[in-house]
Amino acid sequence: MRLKKIAFILFVTFSSIGFCQEMLLSPLSKVSLLTVGTGDELYSKFGHSGFRIQDPTLGFDRIYDYGGFDFDPPGFYVKFARGKLNYRMSVYNTDGFIEAYKQENRWVKEQTLNLSQAERNEVFAFLQNNIKKENRYYLYDFLFDNCATKIPEVLKNGLGNKLKFDYPHLEDTFTFRQLIHQSLDENAWATFGIDLALGSIIDRKATPWEHQFLPLYVYQQMPNTTINGEAFVVKEEVLVEEKPVDKKAFFLLTPLFWLIVLMVSVVLITYFDHKNKKRTRWLDFGLFFITGAAGLLIFFLWFMTDHVFTKANFNLLWAFPLNLVLAFIIAKNKAPKNWVEKYLWVLLIGIVITTILWLFKIQVFSPLIIFVLLALALRYLFLVQMFKKSESTTIQ
């Protein structure tokens, strides 16, 4: 009896798999695009996109989503940091998908696409092929291969030259950094960290097509796309409304507040150090250790990962990895005067070059680093003078 039951389950399972792979959508079917608004967590700040396939004749209503990934594989965080993490395509029940975003208070909008039954089946066949185990995984790239870029890619591959993408809605094009900032709060630690980690590569203007690495721009692109000369979107509907919520950050927890505190503290301590002809050793250790640690991270992201967008990051000019070594040397009562003075001048030149690169927009830095650069420049100049005057200093 038990064997019969197992055989029956296996029969139903494999029959269902075969049916799903080979089924054709009926005349009552619909293919639509779902776009999800931004969330509170960093990973959800840029929204989300997915395909919805409905067919009441087959009792079929599912979401095809390219934004999934597994936490389980060995070395998950290392792979993510090095740009070697595979994302995957997943299929969800539509009701559960929508309810999840409703709970997160994120709007969900649907755009029904103007496709014939044959064209719907072309898109459906492409998605069904992608969901196969051997096809569902892809190497994730934040700018060029993500859940949003997959939408126009699938449509283009499934429908070919029938589609024409126009861009009248883009009165101006933006750099990748500007596009990223559109989804972020300027005075947030996440934004500060992103600007610190991403290089000058993202300061070039994105092409109109490349704007679609963000779900919102895919959403805006669809009504400006035609198929066989006709409008591509035939209906738009809001499935989930976002409830108004006051999301203002507490100012005392923002980077602007703490970086102003840092600059003021460095100015005051340096003033009294100069007045009293001494050197506050713990301050120097802290500044060199923190900038050195930041520089080591930037160096790793630039030279030791496959991420394209972390290359050519000139934050390395002021956040220098060797500062980690100097932090422990300069913490001593006596520092090796000659080479330390030269090293400090190199750091000061690095700050000047950073400013020049910023002015010419070769790389756009976080405006918040102004406070960091001023604090560092002041302290470095003080230390140069201090080491010139005497080989030893009075330590607080």
Q: Nearest-CA neighbor of 110 among 49, 161, 166?
A: 49
pLDDT at 151: 96
Q: Name residues whose C-beta falls within 8 Å of residue 89's C-beta, 6 or more positions apart in sequence.
A: 64, 65, 66, 68, 127, 130, 131, 135, 136, 137, 138
In a domain, residue 84? The reply is: yes
Q: Average pLDDT, stretch 362-382?
A: 97
Pairwise pLDDT comparison (73 vs 359), residue with the higher score: 359
Q: Is 47 left (phi over 0), alpha (psi -120 to 50) or beta?
A: left
Q: Are residues 358 and 213 in the same domain?
A: no
Is the domain of 310 the same as that of 226? no
Which of the pair, 351 or 82, is modelled with greater confidence?
Answer: 351
Residue 67 lies in a domain: yes
Counting every residue, how long is the chain?
396
Average pLDDT over residues 349-374: 97
- Residue 12 falls inside a structural domain: no
Residue 177 falls inside a structural domain: no
- Evaluate whether residue 365 is within a structural domain: yes
Residues 258 and 225 in one domain: no
pLDDT in tens, 238-250: 999 999 888 777 8
* Side-chain-side CA neighbours of residue 164 (13 Å): 8
- Condensed to tens digits (0 to 9), the pLDDT of residues 38-71 reads 998 888 899 999 999 999 999 999 999 998 876 5
- Residue of 368 and 392 predicted with greater confidence: 368
Half-sphere exposure of 110 (CA within 13 A, CB side): 17
Structure confidence at residue 85 (pLDDT):
75
pLDDT at 61: 97
Domain co-membership, 281 together with 153: no
Quote the CA–CA distance of 390 and 299 in Å, as a whole number: 34
- pLDDT score of 15 more than 50: no
Range of the domain at 46: 29-170+208-240
Q: Taking 60 as the threshold, does the pLDDT of residue 229 lie above it?
A: yes
Alpha-carbon distances, residue 241 vs 54, 61, 102, 103, 272 (angstroms):
21, 21, 8, 11, 56
What letter would DSSP give residue 166? -
How many domains are contained in the chain? 2
Tell me: do 119 and 261 sit in the same domain. Answer: no
Query: If pLDDT is split at 50, 70 and 90, which confidence band does 10 have?
Result: very low
Helix crossing, 150-159 with 117-130: angle to 10°?
120
